[in-house]
Amino acid sequence: MSTKTNHQKMLAGELYNFFDPELDAQRQRVKELLRLFNDAPDVGDRRGILERLLGQIGSNSLIEPPFHCTYGRNTSIGDHSYLNFSCIVLDNNRVDIGDHVMIGPMVQLYTAAHPLEAATRNDGWEVAKPITIEDNVWIGGGAIVLPGVRIGRNAVVGAGAVVCHNVPPDTVVAGNPARTIREIEQ
């Protein structure tokens, strides 16, 4: 029998229960910080809230409101990165965003996935796999990145793409599911 908490299981990529009271308390804290962030009129005020909310927010990085995430502290953003309006980060596991990353409006990063069996899903069980976005990546508006995906350095993800698999460095991917369109010479 495991002695790990649901929080520890979640970050380890193991099956955990979303309805756990500890996890629910964490999500409620994040909802309040997001309300403050999304309502703050001043960039400086928003920056201070992001420093309390996220695991890391690099220098000269900016997130436009509205912004939504699940746990906040599982998200790390490097320097000089930009998340445009209405981004959603389901950071049930690690979401690591590198330096000089541009993320378009309404991009969705999902670390959480659910079992295929309805009864298990209904009982609140899920699993979460990390997402890594390396340096100098551009993700076009409305793209969706699924659990466990790594997007390589200098890659470009086309608007509206659904990224189910790792993206090699220096490539352009697009479509549903996203496929390599071409390589980029740097």
pLDDT digits (tens, 9 = 90+) for 25-73: 999 999 999 999 999 999 889 999 999 999 999 999 999 999 999 999 9
In the three-class reduction of DSSP (H, G, I as helix; E, B as strand; rest coil), residue 180 is classed as: strand
Rounded mean pLDDT, 79-100: 98
| CA quadruple 147, 68, 94, 18: dihedral sign | negative
Known catalytic residue at 114: yes
Alpha-carbon distance of 124 to 105, in angstroms, equals 30
Residue 136, pLDDT > 70, answer yes
Residue 73, classed as helix, strand or coil, is: coil
Quick check: 89 pLDDT over 70? yes
* Model pTM above 0.75: yes
d(CA 68, CA 21): 21
The conformation of residue 98, written as its DSSP 8-state character, comes to -
| Domain ranges, ordered by start, for the chain | 6-183
CATH topology of domain 6-183: UDP N-Acetylglucosamine Acyltransferase; domain 1 (2.160.10)
pLDDT at 2 (0 to 100):
65
Catalytic option among 7, 68, 80, 114: 114
